[in-house]
Amino acid sequence: MIEIGRIVVKTAGREALRKAVVVDIIDKNYVLITGPPSLNGLKRRRINVGHLEPTGKKLEITRKATDADVLAAAKAANLDAFIKERIKINV
């Protein structure tokens, strides 16, 4: 279910509970994600797929799309506010 353009939630690390967009699939264990930084502060980085939780939303982007392309696709699909908001945990 992890594919290019899929919006995911990071579940580990200092950026846990933030959303990101998958821009490339490196191999079966790693993908390349971006926030983009101008939207939610997440830099482009390689991450283990075990540290991601896919959402039901997807952007129409090409493989290795730039941060500007991802931002434009998010605004066109009206998902920029969805990506920007953090996940809240109810205890």
25 sits in which H/E element: strand 19-25
Domains, in order of start, for the chain? 6-84 (2.30.30.30)
Per DSSP, what are the bridge partners of residue 52? Answer: 10
Instruction: Write down the pTM of the prediction.
Output: 0.91
Cis bond upstream, residue 36 (ω within 30): yes
Q: Is 69 exposed, middle or buried (0-12, 13-18, 19+ CB in 10 A)?
A: middle
Give the residue from 37, 36, 12 showing the smallest Cα distance to 22.
Answer: 36
- Whole-angstrom Cα distance, residue 90 to residue 43? 27
Structure-model confidence comparison of residues 91 and 8, the more confident one: 8
pLDDT tens sequence across 24-73: 999 999 999 998 999 998 999 999 999 999 999 999 999 999 999 999 99
